[in-house]
Amino acid sequence: MTSYGTLGVAVIGTGRMGADHVRRINEVISGARVAALADLDADRVKHLADGIEGCTAYIDPAAAMADPAVDAVLIASPGPAHEAALLEAFARDLPVLCEKPLTPDPASALRVVRAEQALGHRRVQVGFMRRYDADYRTLKSLLDQGTYGRPLMLHNKHRNADTPPGFTDAMTIHDSVVHEIDVTRWLLDEEITAVRVVRPTPSGKAPEGLSDPQLILFETTGGQVVDTELFVNCGFGYQVSCEAVCEGGTARIGDDHGVFTNTAGRWGGAITPGFVERFEEAYDRQVQRWVDATRRGEVEGPSCWDGYAAAAVCAAGVRAQETGERAAVELVERPALYR
C-alpha cells in the first residue's frame, strides 16, 4: 500500500454527518485536508466547498474520487448510496472511511465484502465510533485483560430524547440498536447468533405506530446473553451506558459524564442532548486514527466484515420485531481477510 503526506480527502455526502466531518478535517484533526466534496444538492455542496481553500464541488461521487488531489474517501451519504460509492472507491483502490451502515442489508453488505476480498487487501474502515470512545475503550481493555474474569452478560441502555418524523420500528434496529450490535461483538469478541425483541406497552410520548420502549436480547457464540433497553422518545436527553457482568465482578460505563453538583438542596448534573455531543471526541479520534493509518499505508478499525455482520444481526432483529419470536442470525463463513 502507498503511504501519504497530507491526505487529500473526498467527502461524499454533505448532510449533517458529512458537514460535521468536513469541519472535523478542517479544524480539529491533523494530517488531512478536504480536497473534494460530492452531494446531489448542488447548491449545498458548492456553498460548502467555496469556504474551503483548494476544494472542488461535485454532484457525482465518481467524479470527486477521480479528482487528482484525492487520496482517500470519507462516505457520509445515505446508507442506500454506500454500495455504489464503495465499489467506485475499490475500482480506484482508494482507502475509505464509511459511515455506518456499510450498506442497509446483508445481501448488499456481502457484495461489498466479496468486492474487497477481490482486491486482496482491506481498504475500508466502517464508522462504528463507539469503539473510539474513551469509556468503551477502557471497558474493552478490562474485558480483554480478564480483570473481572469471563464475561457472562452485558446490560445496555440506549435512550434518545425524541425521534424525527417517520421513524419506524425497523429504524430502531437499523439506526439505533446497530451500535449495541457492534459494541457487543467488539467487547465480547463473539458473533451474535440470535435476537429476541420484547415490546411493552408504548410510552405516551411514542409517535403513533412506533413501539417505544423495547427490550432487545442477543445470544452469542460464547453463550453470553446481552440485553438492551431502547427508549428513543424518553424526552429528557441522550443516555448510553453498558455494564459487563463477569464471573469475578462487574464494570459499568456511561453513568457520570460532566460535572456532578450538589447545590440549593438538589444534586445532579446535565444530560447530553444528542449523540453528536456525547460522542464528539470519539468521532474526532475515529477520523484521526483513520487518517494516521492511511498515511502509513495501513487499514485498522471496524472492517467490511463488521459492517456485514451488523447488517445480518439487524435483519434478524427486524424479523424478531415482526414475528415476536427468536430470530437466528444468518452469517456466511468469515473470510480469511477478516480473521
DSSP letters of 94-134?
--EEEESPSSSSHHHHHHHHHHHHHHTS--EEEE-GGGGSH
Shared domain check, 319 and 287: no
The domain spanning residue 70 has which CATH number? 3.40.50.720
* Domain assignment of residue 1, yes or no: no
- 228: cell is 438492551
Query: What is the DSSP secondary structure assignment for residue 81, as one 8-state letter?
Result: G
278 versus 269: the higher-pLDDT residue is: 278
Q: What is the mean pLDDT of residues 300-326?
A: 98
Query: Roughly what angle, to the nearest 10 degrees, separates helices 304-323 and 178-188?
Result: 120
Question: Which residues in 13-91 belong to E strands, given as ranges?
Answer: 32-38, 56-58, 72-75
Assigned C-alpha cell, 325:
419470536
Same domain, 53 and 87: yes
Radius of gyration of the chain (CA): 20
46-64 average pLDDT score: 97
> What pTM did the predictor assign?
0.94
Q: Both 146 and 215 in a single domain?
A: yes
| Helical (H) or strand (E) element with 219 | strand 214-220
List Cα–Cα distances, 193 to 45, 190, 223, 226, 291, in angstroms. 42, 9, 9, 11, 33
Report the number of distinct structural domains present in the chain. 2
Contact status, residue 272 vs residue 280, Cβ threshold 8 Å: no
Residue 158: half-sphere exposure toward Cβ, Cα within 13 Å? 25
Q: Is the per-residue pLDDT at 1 higher than 60? A: no
Say if residue 168 is in the same domain as residue 226: yes
pLDDT tens for 69-109 read 999 999 999 999 999 999 999 999 999 999 999 999 999 99
Residue 112 inside a domain? The answer is yes
Instruction: Identify the pLDDT of residue 275.
Output: 75
d(C-alpha 334, C-alpha 339), whole Å: 7
Residues 171 and 119 in one domain: no
Give the tens place of pLDDT for each residue, 158-183: 999 999 999 999 999 999 999 999 99
On average, the pLDDT of the chain sits at: 95
Q: What per-residue confidence (pLDDT) applies to 2?
A: 60
Q: Per-residue pLDDT tens for 210-256?
A: 999 999 999 999 999 999 999 999 999 999 999 999 999 999 998 76
Q: Assign 310 a pLDDT band (cuts: 50, 70, 90).
A: very high
Q: 125 with 45, same domain?
A: yes
